[in-house]
Structure 1
Amino acid sequence: MSAEDGTLDRAAILEVLKDFVPEIRGQLQFMDFLVRAVMSDLERHQEETDAGTRIFLEQLIRMHMNHLKLNGGDSGAIGEFMDAVNQWLAGGMAPRPEAPSSEAMSVQDLINATVDAMNLSGGRI
């Protein structure tokens, strides 16, 4: 094989590699969204006093973490992040505030609050 043929092969390979860039960037942006969503929901969970809403938020956090695991694996920093979140959800880091019974949220109120939060954040929850 001549040097010229090698250059052509390398140029073709470079073009193939360039095709991966938008896909990788998109995947990284999605993973960033998921990490931010987990953190936002953890903060909401921390402040929430209604048990039903806390359960809803825990399920939402676990859903985000499942997508994160599917898209980024569970090794390295992502694995450590997910381990810490699981520990937090297990109660090691999550104090449970007492809820006055008069402040219990109805399901419709919960849905409205979630939609409002999504609208206020520009969909960045």
Structure 2
Amino acid sequence: METIIHFIIFLTAVIEIVLLVRFFTLCNHVEDIKKKMVPNENFQAMFLLYCSAGEKEKAKELLLHEMSLDKMFTTAFFSVLPEHDKAKQAILTKYEKLLKMVDVTLDFETVDKYLKG
């Protein structure tokens, strides 16, 4: 009987250790996901660094990713709500200068054709 109790205590300790390791692994993954989902605090500095170094493709990729994190992004690119036009204008106004720096133009006519179906 005593052996069974010791075995159960040992098994419980092992399970708790495994759960603790899994918890910290999960926390690490959450941090990685957060970095991808939250707008970059250094966005403009990184963008200008890439542009000044001649890395326009990296700057373009960074800009498009940053735009995708914008609050108005979904409304501007995938919505038929009345706010759609206002969101498009907000995106264009906010990122106009940066889009020109990497030679990107946003064609909202294509977006509108797709949304109207």
TM-score normalised by the chain length of structure 2:
0.41
> Over alpha carbons, which structure has the higher Rg?
2
Question: What TM-score do the two structures reach when normalised by structure 1?
Answer: 0.39
Larger relative contact order, structure 1 or 2 (CA cutoff 8 Å, min sep 6): 1
